[in-house]
Amino acid sequence: MILVLIPLQVLSGGLTARDSMSELVQDLMLIAPNTHFVTLAQSILYRGAGFEVVWPELLALFVIGSGFFGATLWYFRKAMTNMA
**36 with 61: CB under 8 angstroms?**
yes
Q: Tens digits of per-residue pLDDT, 45-81?
A: 999 999 999 999 999 999 999 999 999 999 999 999 9
**65 with 33: CB under 8 angstroms?**
yes
Q: For residue 62, what are the domain limits?
A: 2-83
H-helix segments, 2-84: 2-11, 23-28, 33-47, 51-83
- What's the predicted TM-score (pTM) here? 0.83
Q: 27 vs 32, 62, 67, CA distance in Å?
A: 10, 18, 18
**43 with 49: CB under 8 angstroms?**
yes
Total of domains in the chain: 1
